[in-house]
Amino acid sequence: MKERMIRVIVCLPVILALSCVFLLWREGGKTGMIVYAQTAALSGEAETEGAQLPASVAYHLKKARKDAQQYYYYAAIKRLSSIQNYEQYEPVTEAISHYQDLMNQCREYPLDQITHIFFHTLIYDTGKAFDSDEDADGYNQVMTTVSEFKWIINSLYRKGYVLVSLHDMAQVDENGVMKPGRIMLPEGKTPIVISQDDVSYYHYMDGDGFASRLVLDGDGKVKCEYVNDDGSVMTGDFDLVPILDDFIELHPDFSYHGRKGILAMTGYNGVLGYRTDEAYKTGANLQDDQRAFLAQHPDFDFDAEVSQARAVAEAMKANGWEFASHTWGHLNATTSSWETLAKDNERWMKNVAPILGSTDMIIFAFGADIGDWNPYAGDNPKYSYYKNAGYHYYCNVDSNQYWLQLTDSFLRMGRRNADGYRMYYNPEMLSDLFDVDAVWDRSRPVPVSAMGVQY
């Protein structure tokens, strides 16, 4: 294997956030028509008001503007250039030339200076999560609250961070060779990867202040359900996915080419709050909490559960979200044999992939990697298995700001935990991203327990 390896640990560049300025179109007028205005500063020409464009042209201008806000200038220009006789519409030619200028001002961001943070399911009701029951200490260590997450993404946005995917950092070419990607961003913008683990709403979390599942609302948007003590159900933004969706709707320039986050998914309790594992259908090898769930839901409809989960997953993927394997059974890949990992992956393929789609990314449970810090070698049977099974992207947990290995065969990246443990014990390790003093949820019990931290 020809190694093209990058492994860098670098300390704290302070990066100034500069807002990008974009062409502003002001919508108005009759249905299907657009009255356009543009800032003279951007176009270099006098403001034009009142001219009317065919609805289809206005539509493409609007779509192109969204692409350009997300640094996808190439797509914006391609879209506008494909309008029939586009040269006759001045707003179109001006937009093309403006996007061309912005594209020319972008520079390629170094892949080895991209950081990756991750979260677990967010705590919505801190009173329930931190109620001193047996799970409270663990939640306080490895979870982040809804309020903290909102502060964190505001801080990231203000500092100029932009969400990218592992798939922007590298892609497998037609010959099966991993090739570095080119992330092109304006000065002052910094790529970051965000992932969220275990978005299954496991049975053990019931009644502890977490959402219960992801659903589609009347507009087809992904929202959370939350079950109150009296059994009534609320729908809203009680976890990371809808919070980030809403934030990017308000601030499209927080996303590169429409990217959102990567969800690392197990399968043993189903996915996204739906009880989709075959055990719920066959009744074989049920755990106690699964048996209790089925007893409490005599009208449980497995097929309906699967199709609802699939609809939510489809909507998420169409909206920039991606899924990774977190192993089916939340296995420790360091201590498991390759044969165990292989059997586990077959279960993921059988029970999870039909709902979320297959994936080429694996995010190790507990951060437990299949090798030491040296690049994976072909004689590592766990790596050989996963690579042959189609995995090209591997993530562990590492508290350094940057940890990347990119070879002809794989991309391997460290992830940083932005949770109660890290915020309480090492706030300085997060200072490039946010100020823990401002973010910290005062309803957390202190001190945060330091015992048995696991991811």
Residues in the site for Zn ion, rule: CB under 5 A? 197-198, 365
Four-residue CA torsion sign, 179, 184, 189, 193: negative
Taking the complex as a whole, the smallest distance from the CB of residue 362 to Zn ion amounts, in Å, to 12
* Residue closer to Zn ion, measured from CB, 95 or 263: 263
* Residue closer to Zn ion, measured from CB, 119 or 238: 119
Region of 390 on the Ramachandran plot (φ > 0 left; ψ -120 to 50 alpha; else beta):
left
Amino acid at 425: Y
* Residue closer to Zn ion, measured from CB, 255 or 345: 345
* Residue closer to Zn ion, measured from CB, 111 or 356: 356
Residue pair 414/114 in contact by the 8 Å Cβ criterion: no
* Residue closer to Zn ion, measured from CB, 125 or 419: 419
Torsion of CA 217, 219, 223, 229, to 10 degrees: -30
Q: Which residue is nearest to Zn ion (CB)?
A: 197
Residue 443 dihedral angles phi and psi, to the nearest 5°: -85, 0
Taking the complex as a whole, the smallest distance from the CB of residue 137 to Zn ion amounts, in Å, to 17
Structure tokens of 253?
A: 């320039």
Residues whose CB falls within 8 Å of the CB of residue 204, separated by 6 or more in sequence, listed in order: 135, 289
Residues whose CB falls within 8 Å of the CB of residue 298, separated by 6 or more in sequence, listed in order: none
Taking the complex as a whole, the smallest distance from the CB of residue 415 to Zn ion amounts, in Å, to 11
* Residue closer to Zn ion, measured from CB, 142 or 436: 142
* Residue closer to Zn ion, measured from CB, 138 or 181: 138
Taking the complex as a whole, the smallest distance from the CB of residue 198 to Zn ion amounts, in Å, to 4
Taking the complex as a whole, the smallest distance from the CB of residue 14 to Zn ion amounts, in Å, to 32
Taking the complex as a whole, the smallest distance from the CB of residue 120 to Zn ion amounts, in Å, to 7
Q: What is residue 303's three-state secondary structure?
A: helix
CA distances, 123 to each of 141, 210, 327, 423 (Å): 12, 5, 23, 15
Taking the complex as a whole, the smallest distance from the CB of residue 363 to Zn ion amounts, in Å, to 8
Structure tokens of 386?
A: 């996963």
Q: SS3 for 190-217, per residue?
A: EEEEEEEECCCCCHHHCCCCCCCEEEEC
* Residue closer to Zn ion, measured from CB, 165 or 325: 325
- 270-294 residues labelled b (16+ CB within 10 A) or e (exposed): bbbbbbbbebbeeeeeeeeebeebe
Taking the complex as a whole, the smallest distance from the CB of residue 149 to Zn ion amounts, in Å, to 17
Region of 215 on the Ramachandran plot (φ > 0 left; ψ -120 to 50 alpha; else beta):
beta
